[in-house]
């Protein structure tokens, strides 16, 4: 079940799209081309998904020379990826972005100053902050489908946009602390706006004056007029309650990013950027959610969002190195933008691998309700290969069964009846003859019943360390089964032993 390509001197040969990464059967291989179309691995806790198909896929990509960004939820992932890299000869490429390390990434400075197109555009910076806010709000009373949620989100984004524009037009680098100071010192009323005492102390007013005096191209001049109208007319005219809600939403994010570990890692210097993955590094964001909680989740989201933007900007040639975004416990890291990324990243030679327990976990992570289900369905549709391990979630099993589909199946049936009103006559052979019938019927039935997924082997010594799964790939007919799906048995990875 392992098929790792040997290193080749010529990158065009090494990363040829037809190069196999996994052998699913003697005649069916999963290639570099397949990897760019994305993979989703689902299985219950203890199903063996991470230590079988997930592990094999990770080691195969490492052996093929992929650059990798790895997001982690569990503390043991650091040791696991160290062993993976040791086993595949990639220890020299392994980097850990961690609380006790020396790597730093000032993400707002990076978004403002990177060399590619789109740098410094406030709307792009605001969109990045919006995605971070989306995850920061999960599980709070301020999210989850309230009728007025859209208003508050738009109002918060409007505040973010004007604050970012003000920093840019005034010639200041966009920073979390700078944004926080602008909002904290913005006028609360038209009377305060005219107050000399407020003007002397307000960072917002000082930047408005600086931006007013700065030389501005035509586009910036129009933007500055909107910024001025917002902070000098619209914002101070808001009701106290409305403004308070908007500001609280905004400052809860900036205060989180401007304190403690997140400030140290993301708001100081920069000595590592997402581009190192494209250069062949294996960058593990070693801030596991099951330990660092929201801090770890936000840290990994920040790097993921910047990575996705950076990789889609890169120029691709025949010699471009393939890279992978690998997420175990992916429900912690998924956002509404992932479906779009999964639909476009193929042209950038990016493989997206998501490992999780169930479809329900994604629905909940994306907000639940019809919106969450629709976004999850869109994401799943753009992850072409799906591997289903043992699972007890009926929703996931029903979905997997539906993907596999129905086929025309034949059923034999028979029946018999005996008339025996007079037992004596029947014994002597004088009773009416009994009736017998037999026949066949056909109907379209599910090829795999949902309950069958619960019976798949889960590895461990009781199963000889073998893990069963069903592999589905849209647009493909496997040679071994003549269908778009096939049963596969993976050997469980046991730490290189």
Structural Rg of the chain based on CA atoms: 29
Q: Per-residue pLDDT tens for 272-284? A: 999 999 999 999 9
Q: Distance between CA atoms of 40 and 369, rounded to whole angstroms?
A: 22
pLDDT score for 133: 80
pLDDT score for 241: 92
pLDDT score for 1: 52
Percent of the chain whose pLDDT exceeds 90: 66
pLDDT score for 18: 92
User: Domain 11-97+288-399 belongs to what architecture?
Assistant: 3-Layer(aba) Sandwich (3.40)
pLDDT score for 34: 96
CB 265 within 8 A of CB 306: no
- Mean pLDDT across the stretch 8-13? 53
Strands 67-71 and 406-417: unpaired
Structure tokens at 13: 């040969």
- Mean pLDDT across the stretch 458-475? 95
pTM (2 decimals)?
0.86
- Mean pLDDT across the stretch 369-381? 92
Structure tokens at 340: 């779009």
Min mean pLDDT across 71-75, 197-201, 314-318, 416-420 is at 416-420
Query: Hey, where are the domains in the chain?
Result: 11-97+288-399, 107-263
pLDDT score for 405: 80
Q: Per-residue pLDDT tens for 290-331? A: 999 999 999 999 999 999 989 988 888 888 999 999 999 999
Q: Per-residue pLDDT tens for 404-437? A: 887 655 455 556 555 555 555 555 555 555 566 6
Answer yes or no: is pLDDT of 440 > 70: no
Most distant CA atoms of the chain, gap in Å:
121
Q: Distance between CA atoms of 385 and 202, rounded to whole angstroms?
A: 55
Q: Per-residue pLDDT tens for 234-253? A: 999 999 999 999 998 888 88
Structure tokens at 342: 């999964």
* Average pLDDT of every residue of the chain: 87
- Which of the pair, 131 or 92, is modelled with greater confidence? 92
- Which of the pair, 85 or 119, is modelled with greater confidence? 85
Strands 67-71 and 435-446: unpaired
- Which of the pair, 154 or 70, is modelled with greater confidence? 70
- Mean pLDDT across the stretch 462-485? 94
pLDDT score for 115: 54
Q: Distance between CA atoms of 79 and 437, rounded to whole angstroms?
A: 66
Q: Distance between CA atoms of 383 and 381, rounded to whole angstroms?
A: 6
pLDDT score for 314: 86
Q: According to the 3-state scheme, what is the secondary structure of the chain?
A: CECCCCCCCCHHHHCCCCCEEEECCCCCEEEHHHHHCCEEEECCCCCCCHHHHHHHHHHHHHHHCCEEEEECCCCCHHHHHHHHHHHCCCHHHEEEEECCCCCCCCHHHHHHHCCCCCCCCHHHHHHHHHHHHHHHCCCCCCCCCCCCHHHHHHHHHHHHHHHHHHHHHCCCCCCHHHHHHHHHCCCCCHHHHCCHHHHHHCHHHHHHHHHHHCCCCHHHHHHHHHHHHHHHHHHHHCCHHHHHHHHHHHHHHHHHHCCHHHHHHHCCCCCCCCHHHHCCCEEEEECCHHHHHHHHHHHHHHHHHHHHHHHHHCCCCCCCCCEEEEEECHHHCCCCCHHHHHHHHHHHCEEEEEEECCHHHHHHHCCCHHHHHHHHHHHHHCCCEEEECCCCCHHHHHHHHHHHCEEEEEEEEEEEECCCCCHHHHHHCCCCCCEEEEEEEEEEEECCCHHHHHHCCECCHHHCCEEEEEEEECCCCCCCCCCCEEEEEEECCCCCC
Q: What is the dihedral of CA 325, 328, 333, 337, to 10 degrees?
A: 50
- Mean pLDDT across the stretch 434-461? 78
pLDDT score for 371: 87
- Mean pLDDT across the stretch 73-98? 96
């Amino acid at each position: 079940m392992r098929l790792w390509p040997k290193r080749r001197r010529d990158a065009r040969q090494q990363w040829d799209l037809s190069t196999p990464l996994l052998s699913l059967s003697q005649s069916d291989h999963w290639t570099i081309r397949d990897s760019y179309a994305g993979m989703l691995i689902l299985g219950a806790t203890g199903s063996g998904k991470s230590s079988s198909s997930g592990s094999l896929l990770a080691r195969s990509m490492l052996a093929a020379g992929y650059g990798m960004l790895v997001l982690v939820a569990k503390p043991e992932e650091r040791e696991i990826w160290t062993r993976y890299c040791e086993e595949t000869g990639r220890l020299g490429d392994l980097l850990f972005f961690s609380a006790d390390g020396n790597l730093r990434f000032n993400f707002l400075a990076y978004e403002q100053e990177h060399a590619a197109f789109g740098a410094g555009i406030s709307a792009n910076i605001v969109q990045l902050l919006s995605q971070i806010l989306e995850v920061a709000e999960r599980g709070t009373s301020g999210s989850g489908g309230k009728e007025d949620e859209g208003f508050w989100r738009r109002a918060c984004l409007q505040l973010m946009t004007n604050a970012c524009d003000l920093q840019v037009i005034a010639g200041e680098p966009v920073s979390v602390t700078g944004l926080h100071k602008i909002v904290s010192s913005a006028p609360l009323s038209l009377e305060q706006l005219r107050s000399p005492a407020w003007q002397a102390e307000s960072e917002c007013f000082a930047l408005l004056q600086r931006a007013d005096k700065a030389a501005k191209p035509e586009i910036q001049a129009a933007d500055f007029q909107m910024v001025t109208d917002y902070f000098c007319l619209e914002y101070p005219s808001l009701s106290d309650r409305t403004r308070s809600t908007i500001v609280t939403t905004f400052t809860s994010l900036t205060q989180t990013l401007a304190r403690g570990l997140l400030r140290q890692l993301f708001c100081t210097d920069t000595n590592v950027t997402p581009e190192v993955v494209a250069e062949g590094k294996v960058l593990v964001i070693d801030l596991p959610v099951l330990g660092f909680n929201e801090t770890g989740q936000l840290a990994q989201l920040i790097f993921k969002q910047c990575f996705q933007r950076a990789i889609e900007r890169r120029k691709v040639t025949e010699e471009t190195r393939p890279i992978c975004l690998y997420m175990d416990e992916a429900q912690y890291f998924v956002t509404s933008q992932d479906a779009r990324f999964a639909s476009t990243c193929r042209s950038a030679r990016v493989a997206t691998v998501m490992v999780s327990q169930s479809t329900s976990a994604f629905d909940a992570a994306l907000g639940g309700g019809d919106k969450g289900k629709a976004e999850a369905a869109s994401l799943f549709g753009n992850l072409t290969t799906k591997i289903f391990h043992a699972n007890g979630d009926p929703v996931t099993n029903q979905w997997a069964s539906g993907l596999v589909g129905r086929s025309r199946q034949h059923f034999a049936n028979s029946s018999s009846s005996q008339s025996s009103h007079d037992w004596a006559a029947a014994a002597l052979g004088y009773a009416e003859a009994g009736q017998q019938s037999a026949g066949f019927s056909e109907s379209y039935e599910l090829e795999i019943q949902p309950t069958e997924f619960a019976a798949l082997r889960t590895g461990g010594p009781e199963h000889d360390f073998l893990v069963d799964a069903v592999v589905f790939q849209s647009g493909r007919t496997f040679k071994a089964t003549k269908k778009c799906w096939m049963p596969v048995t993976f050997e469980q990875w046991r730490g290189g032993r």
